[in-house]
Structure 1
């Protein structure tokens, strides 16, 4: 379904933080360039993935999500969903995010619906950079709706800062839970 989603060329920013551009094709059958948000946390992959497995924390780290209404009991199994609201009060719109692929503790792929606008495909990968340190990468593409017609690089620019902030929030949650 998402075979046109590009993979990733790490171009490191001077500060060592923030979105990077990857084009290594290491994560599957994708080719091309994509801006990838990235953080490293001082915990093992299993510990970091445990935070992703708690659907009730979704609004705590995903920029734009503001209220979790329900989490399917089997989250994060394939097909399970988080029901949430996004936006700013008083304009809150309800929708869902569904798990498309899960390979604990290394990969979680989601489809986040965005009301009548369409949906976005999100890939979160976790890799132990060194023992006890996990690098988390997040990439996103519009999958359905009018936004899917926007060229990939323009989507990268639109999603990059938001996804980096989301990962920074996720990293803070992981560190707090690991204490």
Structure 2
């Protein structure tokens, strides 16, 4: 299976592709996708979990035990739990966030969707997310899967990345452009 966009060229992409193909072939794409979404949320909310994934000081065995405990606490499916164990054993947990992003991209392509990474200053409510998806769908002509994140540093507005296209409507960028224009 060919995956454009260079996903397979990266380490995280190779792991994501392996997990995607395993989930697809065992008809568990939605289950694994939901488990990875839970892991992504846990990584965003827990400094301890993030430290576990990036610390080179934690041994393979301790990392494996800890990730198994986390998988149990999050009630992850067996495929995802086993995959996280492999990442811990191979000392690749530091790439987990990128693996999740790559998996989501592959799953979206499989469903015929385009993936958009959206950065906002504040979390979007359901109505705002639906309006954004509708607008992006009208721009690209296909369903759009949104990978949303929050970065208060952009002050307001949003930044949308779809493939090689980026739409930067952040207040920070507009203020920087205004400051540059005023320098003359």
Normalising by structure 2, what TM-score?
A: 0.23
* Structure with the largest fraction of helix: 2
Larger Rg: 2
Higher RCO (CA 8 Å, separation ≥ 6 residues): 1
* Structure with the largest fraction of strand: 1
